[in-house]
Amino acid sequence: MPFTRFFRQSLSHCTAALFAAALVASCETSNGGGNAPVPMRGPAVAADVSVERVVLQAYRAIADRHLYEPDFRKMSAETYRGFASTDPALSLQAGGKAFTVMRDGHEVLSRPAPADTSDGRAWGGMLAELFAASIDSSPVLQQTDRSVLIKGAMSATTKLLDRNSRYADPEEARDNRFQRDGGGGVGITIERADDKKILIRAVQDGSPAARGGVQVGDQIMAIDAESMMDRSLADVVHMLRGTIGAQVALTVLRPAQGQELTLSLKRARIIPTTVVYERRGDVALIHLTGFNTATTETLRTAMDRARHDIGRDIAGIIIDMRSNRGGLLDQAQSVAEVFIGEGTIFSTQGRHPDSQRTYRSSSRRSAELPIVVLVNGNSASAAEIVAAALQDRGRAVVVGTTSYGKGTVQTVIRLPNEGELVLTWSRLLAPSGYTWNELGVLPNICTAKVADVGRLGPEAVDASRSTLTRWHAERNPTAAEVTDMRKICPPGEDSPERDVDIADRLLRDPTLYALAVRTGSVEQAARPN
């Protein structure tokens, strides 16, 4: 499939997507040569890219691939108003038979409205004529940067689709691609301290920065002899990224030494790190922060390291996906395959024939260790795919709060201006057949309901049995039902240590773990109440 599907920037406006270039997910953030949450700067829209071309391609994609059949009559009126928003003298009369553009009370152009409200090509073609005539008649639009016109039109368009469809302008789209696929950088994560200093928060193992001697806590003073004082994070990110193999001089202030150091680094292909392994006695704690092209490979490496470090006495694995906003669909599938043997992982359903698929594990070998998955209200998309699959298939106990509820797949269409249309094209279903879209994944054990971790016992598991059974039996809950059900274990944004303590307690009590893992499985969901 030639599409990409993907994520969002802050879960309140985020998205997720999946597949060959597919995302499920979530929020893309941009990183300083590796990971800082700021957008990357880039050139303006190419002079030969018209608003008409961008909108026409978007309309064709929406007509062909969106999860629901669109009403282009309503959408076209909003698209035009978004496009013309910088000139209050322009107005649109969207009649039943014709769309007419007026400026200062005078007709600019009128065109017949296509009869078929689902014909994206016809409505896009009509809009193209209205756009061109509007620009010819409006000195304001003629002086407005084309990227502003495109963003106005596309933002208005996607607002009428669903909460996860959105438009990414060329700068954001470039950063999204960096997060998914990597690019030229030095392998550091940066942040702005309270005193406005730009500090290095993390250094990626094996990266140019690691080899060049960059350390966590260093303050970035200059890049290629250009001062970074009072510069935005976006500017610093832009300066750190560049052509693979190109040299970059990084000047840092190292507080421990009280001196500035200039380090010469050669940019390499950097894929942001999404997997971090931490040993906790005889338990492997794996922080899984996103799903990009390197996630599954890095996870397998972390698992091998855990087995080597802990040896035969390893008690189990905690997979921490709290605030993991999602990522690539194929990575959600392959991560689940690490832990699930043969069988269904998830399925997708949509309007386009290619969106109706069942994703199965073909793995004959999987990690048979006990697993606890941690989620919270900011765990979305690809993270929910993995959590729901492991819970449904009886491979993990889920602990924390109800997750975000991003149960749709987005396809990413690159537009003529190098921006991206992130378009919802299917819904996700767990192995038991329920969709967690809007609803979220309910944990086997809700942290807020555990008063004393040391006394966690079978009664806590039994208390959630009927709720989980009902949750997994839902197919089309109403908005009111979703609201009521999410109150059972309200979504939280924090990552309390108690989540880890509960996971550790479960892994050290095989009987309690076995009871909890059965409670959320497909077999349990299939039993009558």
Catalytic residues: 381, 392, 406
What does residue 76 show for φ and ψ, rounded to 5 degrees?
Answer: -65, -40
| Measured CA distances, 216 to 15, 144, 291, 298, 446 (Å) | 31, 43, 24, 21, 35
Please state, in angstroms and rounded to a whole number, the distance separating the CA atoms of residues 15 and 328: 12
CA dihedral defined by 178, 184, 189, 191, rounded to 10 degrees?
Answer: -80
Residue 181 to residues 6, 171, 235, 411, 433: CA-CA distances in angstroms?
A: 12, 16, 21, 16, 31
DSSP H/E element including 307: helix 295-310
Asked if residues 391 and 138 have their Cβ atoms less than 8 Å apart, the reply is no
Going through 236-387 in order, the beta strands assigned E by DSSP cover 247-254, 259-266, 268-270, 275-280, 283-288, 316-320, 343-349, 357-361, 371-375
Q: What phi and psi, each to the nearest 5 degrees, are found at residue 420? A: -135, 140
Cα angle value 404/407/413 (rounded, 5°): 115
Q: Cβ atoms within 10 A of the Cβ of 108, count?
A: 18
Phi/psi of residue 144, each to 5°? -90, 135
Nearest CA to 428 among 336, 292, 317, 527? 336
* CB of 161 closer than 8 Å to CB of 62: yes
**Which residues have a Cβ under 8 Å from the Cβ of 370 and sit 6 or more positions away?**
315, 316, 317, 506, 507, 510, 513, 517
- Start-to-end CA distance of the chain, whole Å, equals 41
Q: Tell me the residue ranges of DSSP E strands in 297-396.
A: 316-320, 343-349, 357-361, 371-375
Residue where the block lists tokens 């598991």: 461
Distance CA 135, CA 239 (A): 36
- 223 exposed, middle or buried (CB, 10 Å; 0-12, 13-18, 19+)? buried
Tokens of residue 272, six digits: 């942001």
